[in-house]
Amino acid sequence: LGFAVICLYEVLWSFTVLNAEITSQMVIDGTTPDIDRLIVDYPDPERPWNLIFATKIWLVGFIISAHAFYLSKKPRKSIEELNPED
């Protein structure tokens, strides 16, 4: 569950930064940016992350970990429920 929460936080953070980048370029230049080229230099300026890629990766991590948490908490069927004729 912890990893799902972290992934959800990162997805929301990536969307927030992506929206801020789009809005700032529209306000400053008056043009709509190419969102596939938007990057963020955090945490390492030497290796910036593409915001679309980062959002997709964190979203996939959230979906997989949330589904794994759901499956781990789902009630299991007993042997009697699996073999009713016995």
With vertex at residue 69, the alpha carbon angle to CA 65 and CA 73, rounded to the nearest 5 degrees, is 170
Q: What is the pTM of this model?
A: 0.79
13-39: pLDDT as tens digits: 999 999 999 999 999 999 999 999 999
Q: How far apart are CA 11 and CA 30, in angstroms?
A: 27
Q: How far apart are CA 32 and CA 22, in angstroms?
A: 7
Q: How far apart are CA 10 and CA 59, in angstroms?
A: 8
Q: How far apart are CA 53 and CA 38, in angstroms?
A: 10
Locate the domains of the chain by residue range. 1-42
Choice between 9 and 78, residue whose per-residue pLDDT is larger: 9
CB-count exposure of residue 23 (10 Å: 0-12, 13-18, 19+): exposed
Choice between 58 and 76, residue whose per-residue pLDDT is larger: 58
63-85: pLDDT as tens digits: 999 999 999 998 887 777 777 77
